[in-house]
Amino acid sequence: MSVVFLSTGPPTVNVEHLDALAESYGVSIDAREKEHYLHLLNGLDATSNAITSLPAYTDPRLLPAASTLPRTYEKLSGKPDKNPLNTWSHRTSITASNPSDVRLSRKTVVFKDNVSIAGVPLTGGTFPELLVGKPDYPVPGIDAVVVKRVLESGGVVKGSANCEHFSMSPLSFTSASGPVHNAWLKGYTTGGSSSGCAAMVAASQVRAWRKRHGLSSPSPSNNDEEELGESVDMAVGGDQGGSIRIPAAYAGIYGLKATHGLVPYTGIISLVPMIDHTGPMTMTLEDNAMMLGVLAGWDGMDPRCTPETPLRQNVPDYLGLLEAWRAEKDLKGDWTPQMAGKGLRIGVIKEGLEVVGLTSEVKSVITAAAEQFKAVGANVEEVSIPMHIIGPAIWTVATRPYMVEHGLQNRVTPYLQYAMPDVTPPVLNQKAFDLLNKHNPAVANMFFNSAFMNSKPDANQALAKAMGHVQQLRDAYDEVLKDFDVLLTPVNPKVGSKHPEYTMDVGKKMEPAIGATLNTCQFNVTGHPALSMPAGWGRTPDGPGMLPVGMQLVGKRFDELSIFKAAAAWEVGGKGLDRWNGQINWTASRSSVI
């Protein structure tokens, strides 16, 4: 291999620098050889400077379409009169004048605030000093691929939704902008880290649910705008350990973590590429299927895509196929509350109902959901996958060594990609630690976790072993999925709790999140698709109200259609949010916690 170094100007690397580099490896260089190594280092430095001096290149495929310009925005964080649930980060309204199709025509869509929207500030749920080392947030010049596809399909981009600090919380009180409230019960978690996305879609769900059940807003003025604020039809969230599915469960909406690599992640702040997912969060199952068809397909830029990722023209019409399957069953007389699930095979993961912290309230809802699958004619069996219990440990060890380097410092991976050049977090120092410790100690803990894992003498061997067990875990699910269409687990281990009181006690801020991902993070490392959907209601553990409980349906990789079929058949027996006995005074419950 030949290497060519550009050499211009006087040398900048001196002997002291060379000695320091050598010492970092615990080696010494003979004085007679230093001249040669200095020459090579100075050549490299000159070459590096030549590249650094070049103007930045932006892939034209990511530039905003001219028909969507100019763009304006309004910052809504910190404006409770316009943003009562603190769901919005920045509001805008962007449409394409000549969309290529109309699948999302007039549908309003918001994006998690780690997704690039050209001309709109990007926060990542944190402070600008921690994201870019400056007092102002970066303003991207590109549209993430998911943004472009929503616009190309006729959707209305309404802006960015608040998210948790660096996407590192399964609950919704860590954002730099303050807590994001559950649309069903203000003051309670709506889940994270796609918290604003979930609550904003849920606000639309609340309005539709109340209308269906003849209930009104409990606000003093009986005005749900004052109570809920502006809402949207759909959202695009992000999921590295459950951050689409967990908030979808707490919020009573539908959230899909599609197969890894099916929906391009280009233009979105990463945590670790192996577990990065983005996907649809919607009011209905049908909207979720439709939106997946819009978002999915190879983009030619995301290294997370694989040879299994379909080209855009080969992406299944998930909604059309679902409707055709439903129509075929209806023609046979099978689309009934007794027969809709006929032919479907549902595996209830035994270990999913044994995770630490799973409450009897949630377990009873999931048990009832499994019974409903039986009632609609599906074949339901309990199945044991012992590795499911150790899955979170595998996820942890396989990702912790990279989490700071890639997720908190945006270190570019050695794969061709759009590298988010505007995200330039500084190195952790005392000032940064104090901010993190105050607002989200989980992020500060991640710095310590990553440094600790990488400092261990057997760090590489431990990581290699964890990677091997990722494959073993994937194989374990694949083996069981040979006999089942979908697997069933709970999503949230307990009914949503109140936001913790503001305190400097790290334990009180960390404790509520413990165990939240024990049924979700496994499928981030294995890459299987997983849908969170509302299965019923549970009483809150610390108040008089009720909040949604979600169930998770997991399918074979790149077989999202089977998940949609199973979910649709289950709902013929009654939708989760309509499993309501009508005896609870919702208005009183709500007013008592506001």
Residues carrying an active site annotation = 112, 193, 243
Position 508, amino acid: K
Determine the Cα–Cα distance for residues 297 and 309; give it in Å rounded to an integer: 6
Determine the Cα–Cα distance for residues 206 and 547; give it in Å rounded to an integer: 11
User: Per-residue DSSP letters for 412-460?
Assistant: PPSSSS---TT--PPPP-HHHHHHHHHH-HHHHHHHHHHHHHHHSTTHH
Locate 503 and state its tokens.
């305190």
Locate 15 and state its tokens.
């002997």
Locate 519 and state its tokens.
């049924």
Determine the Cα–Cα distance for residues 83 and 327; give it in Å rounded to an integer: 42
What are the start-end ranges of the E strands in 32-73?
A: none
Determine the Cα–Cα distance for residues 479 and 473; give it in Å rounded to an integer: 10
Distances in Å between the Cα of 520 and the Cα atoms of 170, 247, 270, 300 are 11, 12, 18, 28
Task: List all residues 6 or more positions away from 357 whose beta carbon is below 8 Å from its beta carbon.
Answer: 493, 494, 514, 515, 518
For the stretch 34-41, contacts whose Cβ atoms lie closer than 8 Å and that sit 24 or more positions apart, written own/partner, are 38/11, 38/13, 38/14, 40/5, 41/13, 41/17
